[in-house]
Amino acid sequence: MSGEISRRTFLRGTLAGTIVVAGFDTGLRSWVSAAELPNRATALAEDFPTFDGVLLLDDASRAAAADDFGHLVHRQPLAVLKPGSVTDVVELVRFARRNNIKVAARGQAHSTQGQAQVEAGVVVDMATLTTVHKINQTNALVDGGTRWLDLLTQSIPQGLTPPTLVDFLELTVGGTISLGGIGSQAFRFGANVDNVLELQVVTGEGELISCSATHNTALFNAARSGLGQFGLIVRARVRLIPAPPNARLYQAFYSSLPAFLSDLEKLIDDGRFDTVQGFAVPDGAGQWLYQLETTKYFSPGQEPDDASLLNGLAFNPGTQSAQDMTYFDYLNRLARLVAFLRQIGVWAFPHPWVNLFVPAVNAETLIGETLANLTVDDVGQGPILIYPFNRELFHTPFFRVPDSGHFFVFALLRNAVPPTAERAAELIAANRTLFERAAMLGGKRYPFDSVPMTRHDWQKHYQPLWGAFVSAKRHFDPSGILTPGQGIF
């Protein structure tokens, strides 16, 4: 009940200074506000829905929905739905299909190339669907707009946590599941989508369908990592496991890329650490160092054996360090950095990111070649990620990763400096070149980043499942109204 009260309060707050849709003009194909209704000469749609939430027309709401974390693409919708219920999403999609209106869901808008934007369509702002409905010892049932951070603040006091979490906890459950979801624990448990037990999805036909690995399996396999092409995820049941109380965070540095990559692979095979990730960092003299970052979870009185855990690793002697923290503080470790970036304005810079999955056998080639020609200015002092994964733990069909035992994510999380359109365009062109090189080496793209893609690129990305992808689109979104911002169809 408290969740419903807070939602109504939020929705009432959105009305100040906004323009609410009251109808749809079928002749002019435009939304109509309450103030305009008396002066309408053309016919209004008789089947226009009544919403528990609000459908907004004002410039501020539409401008906000025409931006994302990338700040590179700006597709202006004609309206923004702030749903007061799952039924609102169903009714909107049904109406949109009858009237050939494009629709996309917006979570925290952490995409970087307009993936959740809709030109002249409707954006569903999932920020009003954020209820954590139920937590038990094995799973949690949450709305699609719930942030992972919000789930953790309720699950950790009960000693529970999702097995795999994204590094940035302000992302939404629905948005992450639509993409894939990776982090420092994924080498052990697979991606977020591999730890989903059940979904409620509003398909492109406006049907609300529950699906799982044993029920409506085709939709379950399509919606997970489906990039919003087959349905909008409005609720999810995600797996939970016991949460450890503490984490010891280890860091060490390497000068040798081959030694660094070799140790990353060794660590995800022997499982001595609970999390494993890596970074390329500037050495201050125009070259790169490689930073290993791992954790070991523990309970008080059962502290890890540092010497045993670090034994046999080839990092530069004397560069290792260790720090104890709570499990939650480890998971939320980016919070201070993000707050600082927001404070100094860098969060609002264009972010032409590139995120690639690279087979381990070719990782040294691609990463080495790229870094040899890369400067700190080319990433705007943004981080460079190098995370290792075990392919056998990635089971979701449409989450496309290299077909190799081990693979790495290689990500340049660029800030465009100076923050101009010209500089952003230069970096996007560089992303395309890097993507093409990665594809030649058996790599795949993690498609929330900024890489221009042709239809042929998408076909290659999904092979040998492109036919299944197209078939699922025809079945679950036959009118092709959902999530056009990805540019697949």
Per-residue model confidence (pLDDT) at position 41: 67
Q: Which of 269, 287, 289 is CA-nearest to residue 279? A: 289
- pLDDT tens readout for residues 72-82: 999 999 999 99
- pLDDT tens readout for residues 414-426: 999 999 999 999 9
Per-residue model confidence (pLDDT) at position 14: 46
- pLDDT tens readout for residues 394-412: 999 999 999 999 999 999 9
Percent of the chain predicted with pLDDT > 70 = 96
Percent of the chain predicted with pLDDT > 90 = 90
CA dihedral 76, 77, 83, 88 (to 10 degrees): -160
Contacts of 135 (CB under 8 A, 6+ apart): 141, 154, 155, 158, 160, 240
- Per the listing, tokens 């953790």 go with 152
- pLDDT tens readout for residues 444-479: 999 999 999 999 999 999 999 999 999 999 999 999
Per-residue model confidence (pLDDT) at position 43: 75
Per-residue model confidence (pLDDT) at position 16: 54
Per-residue model confidence (pLDDT) at position 29: 83
Q: Using the predicted structure, report yes or no on whether residue 329 has a pLDDT greater than 80.
A: yes
Per-residue model confidence (pLDDT) at position 7: 43
Per-residue model confidence (pLDDT) at position 18: 81
Give the confidence band of 15 by pLDDT, cuts at 50, 70, 90.
Answer: low
| Three state DSSP letters for the chain | CHHHHHHHHHHHHHCCCCCEEEEEECCCCEEEEHHHHHHCCCCECCCCCCCCCEEECCHHHHHHHCCCCCCCCCCCCCEEEECCCHHHHHHHHHHHHHCCCCEEEECCCCCCCCCCCCCCCEEEEHHHCCCEEEECCCEEEEECCCEHHHHHHHHHHHCEECCCCCCCCCCEHHHHHHHCCCCCCHHHHCCHHHHEEEEEEEECCCCEEEEECCCCHHHHHHHCCCCCCCEEEEEEEEECEECCCEEEEEEEEECCHHHHHHHHHHHHHHCCCCEEEEEEEECCCCCEEEEEEEEEEECCCCCCCHHHHHCCCCCCCCCCEEEEEEHHHHHCCCHHHHHHHHHHCHHHCCCCCEEEEEEHHHHHHHHHHHHHCCCHHHHCCCCEEEEEEEHHHCCCCCCCCCCCCEEEEEEECCCCCCCCHHHHHHHHHHHHHHHHHHHHCCCEECCCCCCCCCHHHHHHHHCCCHHHHHHHHHHHCCCCCECHHHCCC
Per-residue model confidence (pLDDT) at position 106: 97
Give the confidence band of 17 by pLDDT, cuts at 50, 70, 90.
Answer: low
Q: Using the predicted structure, report yes or no on whether residue 47 has a pLDDT greater than 90.
A: no
| Packed helices 360-372 and 257-270: angle between N→C axes, nearest 10 degrees | 150
Contacts of 317 (CB under 8 A, 6+ apart): none
How far apart are the two ends of the chain, measured CA to CA in Å?
Answer: 41
- pLDDT tens readout for residues 103-154: 999 999 999 999 999 999 999 999 999 999 999 999 999 999 999 999 999 9
Per-residue model confidence (pLDDT) at position 9: 41
CA dihedral 395, 396, 397, 398 (to 10 degrees): -140
Give the confidence band of 40 by pLDDT, cuts at 50, 70, 90.
Answer: confident
The length of the chain in residues reads 489
Indicate the residue type of 373.
Answer: N
Distances (CA, A) of 257 to 230, 437, 469: 41, 19, 37
Instruction: Please list the residues that pair with 54 across neighbouring strands.
Output: 82
Q: Using the predicted structure, report yes or no on whether residue 300 has a pLDDT greater than 60.
A: yes
Give the confidence band of 386 by pLDDT, cuts at 50, 70, 90.
Answer: very high
Give the confidence band of 12 by pLDDT, cuts at 50, 70, 90.
Answer: very low
Domains of the chain: 2-128 (3.30.43.10), 132-243 (3.30.465.10), 246-460 (3.40.462.10)
Per-residue model confidence (pLDDT) at position 350: 97
- pLDDT tens readout for residues 158-211: 999 999 999 999 999 999 999 999 999 999 999 999 999 999 999 999 999 999
What is the average pLDDT across 353-382? 97
Indicate the residue type of 233.
Answer: I
Q: Using the predicted structure, report yes or no on whether residue 354 has a pLDDT greater than 70.
A: yes
Q: What is the pTM of this model?
A: 0.93
Q: Which of 190, 390, 187, 393 is CA-nearest to residue 276? A: 187
| Spatial separation of the C-alpha atoms in residues 344 and 176, rounded to whole Å | 27
